[in-house]
Structure 1
Amino acid sequence: MNSLPQTCIGLTGGIGCGKSTVAHLFEAKGVRIIDTDAIAHQLTQPGGNAIDAIRTHFGSEYLLASGAMDRPKMRHLVFADYAAKAKLENILHPLILTACSQAISTPSLAPYTLLMVPLLLENPPFLKLVQRVLLVDCSEQQQISRVMQRSGLDESEIRAIIALQMSRKERIFRSDDLIKNDGMPDELTAQVNNFHNDYQQISNNHLTAS
């Protein structure tokens, strides 16, 4: 059997929709998970490949004493300044894209790969890496409630983040598959099970055809 998965599924969704929860459920089934948020954290840790460029373009005041990027301070800047947001994305996105491409091409015995990208639908270079887009969706009020529980952000800050992201209606329209994460945990698990079976079949078909 070919050890390189032939299928890469893009996992996305708005802030607080439950992407990480869904990813963990897939991971428990042996699916390989590539998390762009985790890659971004690595790039902005002390000695990370993005640190020198962040220092050059934003100044040392956006770095902590440890040498890592000051994430809360940078978050406030990019939400208030579109040019700063674009500048940070121009630093991080090419590095993240390269890391994702390398990870996807690395041989694995997993049945397929799940690439988790919060803003996948807004980023065509990342869309080129996946064969299907799986969207995790819930109501805006649930998004706000979940993010408030897990972070120090208040409702106005969370609404500002949501406003910067693609609308819920547009995300649903542009996605291939949809998981509704507004019910009980067993309902979420059942949806993941169904899609896992579908994606295994797609991957098997690709392997057979290759």
Structure 2
Amino acid sequence: MGPMLKVGLTGGIGAGKSEVSRLLASHGAVIIDSDRIAREVVEPGTPGLAAVVAEFGPGVLAADGSLDRPRLGAVVFADKERLAALNAIVHPLVRQRSAELEAAASADAAAVVVHDVPLLVENGLMPLYDVVVVVDAPDATRLSRLTEVRGMTPEEARARMAAQAGREQRLAAADVVIDNDGSLADLERRVDEVWADLWRRARERSQG
């Protein structure tokens, strides 16, 4: 394993974390998106999907042979033991795939690996990363994005926001804050600055 800067990227719903992730990837960061990997490890034809069907039965499959997520969700969210059984299948596969992606990245002399982790602060995962980057926007801005862009009702949006860590709690956990209350051009400029900082840290690591 070569020296590698491990970055944890997080932000409240509606803050714009996905956009920041995309911009960092365009600069050359290796993005490890645990939510996306969790979907990939149970795609049709994978051992992960076979294990889920063995545990939950063929009733959790859609007509095309893919996982029927709403149906599986209805089973596991009503029963903690069933949820634990699902996590016991999926989590090790996600960890294994994440480790493979990290190992591939660490072959570079200096690599910046960004873990996209929605609940980083809520789950107390800060110590796992060299740098924690928080994408931040005021609650009012996030609320308007969720209602206007994602089509949520104000009640749904507030409930989703309330289920996550508060803004102060997230900011307190940040090593680097990316303010996303302005235009896309403002965000791109700020991400350029943050990338330069992350790249410098990664190079110092590789030379150290």
Q: TM-score normalized by structure 1? A: 0.79
1:40 counterpart letter in structure 2: A
1:177 corresponds to which residue? 176
**Counterpart in the other structure of 1:116:** 116
Aligned counterpart, 1:189: 188
Residues 34-75 of structure 1: per-residue CA shift (max 9 Å, x gap): 222221221232123432343344443333122322234445
Q: Which amino acid aligns with 2:62?
A: L
Distance in 2 between residues matched to 1:53 and 1:130, nearest whole Å: 31
Equivalences for residues 15-164 of structure 1 within 5 A: 15-74=13-72, 81=78, 83=80, 86-106=84-104, 107-108=107-108, 111-123=111-123, 127=126, 129-148=128-147, 151=150, 154-164=153-163
- Aligned-residue CA RMSD (Å): 3.0
**Which range moved further: 64-73 or 19-28?**
64-73
Provide the rounded CA distance (Å) in 1 between the counterparts of 2:20 and 2:96: 24
Secondary structure of residue in 2 paired with 1:112: strand
1:114 positional shift: 1.4
Question: Is residue 139–residue 182 contact of structure 1 (8 Å, CA) maintained in 2?
Answer: yes
Counterpart of 1:47 in 2: which secondary structure?
coil
Give the letter for the 2:113 counterpart. T
Give the whole-Å Cα distance in 1 for the aligned partners of 2:67 and 2:203: 42
State how many pairs are aligned.
205
Amino acid at match of 2:53: R
Cα distance in 1 between the residues matched to 2:182 and 2:78: 36
Letter in 2 for 1:134: V
**Are the equivalent residues in 1 in contact too, given 2:4–2:110 (CA < 8 A)?**
no
Q: Which residue of 2 aligns with 1:205?
A: 204
8 Å CA contact retained: 1:32, 1:113: yes
Q: Which amino acid aligns with 2:92?
A: P
Measured in 1, the distance between the counterparts of 2:149 and 2:86 equals 24
Per-residue deviation, residues 55-99 of structure 1 (Å, max 9, x unmatched):
344443333122322234445666x64725555444322221221
Letter in 1 for 2:7: I
Query: How far apart are 1:21 and its partner, in Å?
Result: 0.7
* AA matched with 1:171: R
Partners of 1:76 and 1:10 lie apart in 2 by 30
Q: Residues 72, 152 of structure 1: CA spacing in aligned structure 2 closer, same or farther, 3 A cutoff?
A: farther
Specify the structure having the higher radius of gyration (Cα): 2
| 8 Å CA contact 1:12, 1:134 repeated in 2 | yes
Which deviates more from structure 2 when the two are superposed, residues 138-147 or residues 90-99? 138-147
2:204 is matched by which residue type in structure 1?
A: N
Find the aligned partners of 1:163 and 1:196 in 2 and give their Cα distance.
Answer: 30
1:28 positional shift: 1.6
Q: For residues 150 and 71 of structure 2, what CA distance do their matches in structure 1 show?
A: 15
Q: Which runs of 5+ in 2 are unaligned?
A: none
Tell me if the contact between 2:109 and 2:206 (Cα under 8 Å) persists in the aligned partners.
no
Identity of aligned residues (%): 33
